[in-house]
Chain A
């Protein structure tokens, strides 16, 4: 099967006063066509930087030092701005985390949905009809009236549905969902997840789903990429990664998921230690300082250790542990 998205060796630096902050280091990941790939990792692991890099919309002080990003085999790094703008919104679309801030507060929903269709040469009425149909499809009651509403007249869940409708309206090949349920409550979360899955099947797009909620990833995704301190440390099918994690960080992350706790505890478990200083990342395994089973070997970078077809982990002992 062809991959919708192919990221290889992606390295992104931020210029700061303390020197170059290495926000992403040699990140590799693949999103096969028609699949949902989850990205999981704690705050500061580079998820947002990754999204910005995928869209090629990075802050002024960010620089792609190395690597490639291929969308359907087309290189995005250093692609001409015109071409990138053509791709954005048509082939790649994004749903952002906070629906309260991702819609323009002074324009009506209908106006914003017309804006997304600016490339179409069809009459306005047809565009409005499509917008209303999309709003109905994502489960908004009375979609035609909603076209005339302003964002502040809708609830958070309704706004996120609008944002999803806008993102999928142009039938993108790749939908990036940046923690789309973090700002919503738990019942809405399930509905939004269901909606994303249905839309994915209808449109046949691939979804890159960023979250730090392991339960949601396990529920929704086909594959998962675990990120830590700017590196992808493990990638594989959701089932394999969650049942037999190859990287100690993945294992600890799963242990720390409150959803999996069997017994009541006074204090939720956490991984001791802090993220390494990314202006001067230590050589070798990036997780070494916080890892229980670190040895001398970990001073060298492990690279990708294959565990099964399509499942690898960046740990010297990944394969040994399973034997």
Chain B
């Protein structure tokens, strides 16, 4: 038992914000997994007789301008949100991890070149890049993912590079080399596990950012194709009728707020636990 209390999971469960975050994320994952089961209606079925219905026992969160059930659309939208977030974060994280470690271990000129590259990409406002790419590429989730990857992998790259640089000169790395460890052994057995902590914290904090970017792009009409039940599309539908039927846009914003809070709390709780300097003594 004491073993568990001191393990990462045990310490996370002692933090009320972390528990709340895990509950929200678990809820999101469950709804996404069983979207078809939990949806009371077909998310695409139009029921023109019940347009702009307020929340009720039949339509939990009301209906939109075409009489589609908002709750069912949001449940379906959680799949899109999770899919975009996980794919984009995995791809950009992997690119950032590799480039960051190359920058950290490589010669000075390569490091400088990669840093310049990272900074150039970081300097681009996401939404401007999104608009530019949306004009060039077909509309769809693929474009959203490309935009997110281009704008965010440099962030991982920078964090990984800084970690690698400080680890490269750590005494235990010198000790390992003095024990005859090969370069690959140093990289994969000793540096990589030390880099992963901050890396995962950043990834957890970035998941909601990606979800918001997808919603933002769909809201602007450059994300998912029309008719797709993305959260951003629901917001867009609601925005047009915000004066007469505000519940559509309110309902569309709710999952975004919850998911952002959930992943942010989780990221912060992870950071508190994984960063020994911040860890509170209990």
Interface positions, chain B 143-167, Cβ under 8 Å from A, are: none
In this complex, the interface size class of chain B, counting residues with CB under 8 Å from chain A, is 10 to 19
A55 with B178, Cβ < 8 A, contacts A106-B197, A107-B189, A107-B190 known: yes
Q: Judge if A85 is at the interface, Cβ distance under 8 Å.
A: yes
Are A115 and B172 in contact, CB atoms less than 8 angstroms apart? no
A206: B residues at CB distance < 8 A: none
* B189 and A115 contact, CB distance less than 8 A: yes
Please, what's the 1-or-0 string for A41-60, where 1 marks a CB less than 8 Å from any CB in chain B?
00000000000000101000
| B175 shortest CB reach to chain A, Å | 5
Judge whether B177 and A88 touch: CB under 8 Å. Answer: yes
Q: A86, B180: Cβ atoms under 8 Å?
A: yes
Partner of B185, one of A88, A93, A118, A152: A118
Known: A107-B189, A107-B193, A115-B185. A102 touches B179 (CB 8 A): no
| A90 located at the interface, meaning its Cβ lies under 8 Å from any Cβ of chain B in the complex | yes
B174 in the interface (beta carbon within 8 A): yes
- The residues of A that contact B176 with a CB separation of less than 8 Å are 104, 115
Closest Cβ–Cβ distance, residue B155 to chain A (whole Å): 22
A57 touches B172 (CB 8 A): no
Find the A residue at minimum CB distance from B195. Answer: A106
Check B172 against A103 for contact (C-beta < 8 Å): yes
How far in angstroms is the closest Cβ of chain B from A189? Answer: 20
Q: How far is the CA of A104 from the CA of B176 in the complex (A)?
A: 9
Given A104-B176, A107-B193, A152-B276, are A85 and B182 neighbors across the interface (CB < 8 Å)?
yes
Instruction: For B181, list chain A residues within 8 Å (CB).
Output: 85, 89, 115, 118
Task: Determine the residue in chain A with the shortest Cβ distance to B172.
Answer: A104
**Least Cβ–Cβ distance between A307 and chain B, in angstroms:** 35
CB distance from A277 to the nearest CB of B (A): 26
**B98, CB-defined interface residue at 8 Å:** no
- Please, how many angstroms separate the alpha-carbon atoms of A163 and B193 in the complex? 20
Q: Which residues A179-203 have CB closer than 8 A to chain B?
A: none
Task: Point out the residues of chain B lying under 8 angstroms from A166, CB to CB.
Answer: 179
Among A104, A115, A163, the one with the most B-chain Cβ atoms within 10 Å of its Cβ is A104
Q: How far is the CB of A134 from chain B (nearest CB, A)?
A: 14
In the assembled complex, how far is the CB of residue A311 from the closest CB belonging to chain B, in whole angstroms?
31
Q: Does B194 contact A (CB under 8 A)?
A: yes
Q: Which B-chain residue is minimally distant from A148 (CB atoms)? A: B3
Other-chain contact of A101, B170, B177, B182 (Cβ < 8 Å): B170
In the complex, chain B residues 190-234 whose Cβ is within 8 Å of any chain A Cβ: 190, 193-194, 197
Chain A nearest CB from B3 CB (Å) reads 10
Measured CB to CB, the nearest residue on chain A to B274 is: A106
Q: Is A3 an interface residue (CB 8 A)?
A: no
Known: A88-B180, A101-B171, A104-B172. 7 other contacts (CB 8 A): A88-B178, A88-B179, A96-B174, A102-B172, A102-B175, A105-B194, A166-B179
